[in-house]
Amino acid sequence: MKKKLALLMVFVLAASVLLASCGSKSMNGEASTDRWNGQMNDSSTGGGDAAPGAPSESWTEGGEAWNDAVEGVGSAIKPQTSLAEKIIYSADVSIETVEFDKAVESVEQMLQKYGAFLESSSVSGKSYSEKYYGYQTYRRANFVIRVPVSAFENMTRDMENVGNVTNRNVYTENITTRYYDTQSRVDSYRIEQERLLAMLEKCETVTDMIEIENRLSEVRYELESLESTLRNWQNQVDYSTVNVTLSEVQEYTKQVEIHRTYWQQIGDGLKNTLEDIGDFFKDLFKGFVVNLPTYILLAVFIGLAAWIVLAVIRKRKAKKAAGRGAVDLELKEEDKK
């Protein structure tokens, strides 16, 4: 009986200790949760009257620096549960055309069709030598087009209607991670800026004020820089870039079969060589005909100069001959005497 009573007392004592331990842990957990929720609420509302950890009477009381007040700012940035993809699209397109003016007009019409705009453009190669001397010159245009990302694919595909597309490269750059990391830094700096402004209103000494204002200037500079980066990225995400190179040609580049036999390759090379020789003689004959008036005028001047030189030479020879004749006559007369 005594043994049973002793066992019952031990069991009751063990149960009491266990219940006390559980109650203590529960109270500690609730207190810790309350403190954490309170800090999160203070952070999300800009810190209230004083930031967590900041002395209430003086910002430097007890030897603690004022930047202790902004401790744990990053904890107020709640992670995004679903992030939109941030992808930058761009393309390089090279186009040949035999109707340059018409092709340029087609590009301008595509801008209106897809709601795009020209960021920059240039045209080169226009020469008056073709008009006055008959030389063929070819023009070249470069366009940097910004098009809404929703119309990017359709616009790059529609470039085939402008001319012969010889090259098209499409690039993608996923900046999702960098974008949202930068956005988190922006949010963190904004919270720190609000807390610094609140601290600036409560500081009591000039030294504290100067220190807070210096840090506030740094925060504002970083904030403006990061916000500018975000705006630039968002602009590139919303409006894709299409670089178009438009070249004027006499005829389109021929599409050669990928697999050519040995003799077909020889035939292609011989044909290209004969075409080059023919183009050389055609250009040579054209240049001769175009410059014929110059050649005639040059021949006239050369002939006139030659005639003058020959006349001078003949005159000198005649003068020398006349002189010799006079000398001979004098010698004859002396011999007669």
Q: pLDDT digit string (tens) for 56-110?
A: 333 444 334 444 444 444 444 444 445 689 999 999 999 999 999 999 999 999 9
**Do 163 and 181 fall within a single domain?**
no
**Do 170 and 195 fall within a single domain?**
no
| Contacts for 48 with CB less than 8 Å, ≥ 6 apart | 42
**Do 230 and 272 fall within a single domain?**
no
Residue 287 inside a domain? The answer is yes
Domain that holds residue 266: 262-291
**Do 211 and 158 fall within a single domain?**
no
Report pTM.
0.55
171-181: average pLDDT: 94
pLDDT of residue 251: 80
Q: Which of 135, 113, 147, 108 is nearest to 243 (CA)?
A: 147
Residue 117 inside a domain? The answer is yes
pLDDT of residue 43: 38
**Do 128 and 166 fall within a single domain?**
yes
Residue 307 inside a domain? The answer is no
pLDDT of residue 278: 84
Q: Tokens 């366009």 label which residue?
A: 143
> Count of domains in the chain?
3
The phi, psi pair for 139, rounded to 5°, reads -95, 160
pLDDT of residue 58: 39
63 secondary structure, DSSP code = G
Residue 199 inside a domain? The answer is yes
Residue 186 inside a domain? The answer is yes
Residue 149 inside a domain? The answer is yes
Q: Which of 168, 147, 154 is nearest to 94 (CA)?
A: 168
| Residues of the chain above pLDDT 90, percent | 40
Other Cβ atoms within 10 Å of 70 Cβ, number: 21
Kindly list the strands in the beta sheet with 239-248, ordered across the sheet, starting from the edge strand earlier in the chain: 117-124, 140-148, 239-248, 87-97, 164-174
Considering 186, 217, 248, which residue would you say is the last residue of a domain? 248
The CATH number linked to 130 is: 3.30.70
- Reported residue count of the chain is 337
**Do 207 and 222 fall within a single domain?**
yes
Other Cβ atoms within 10 Å of 172 Cβ, number: 10
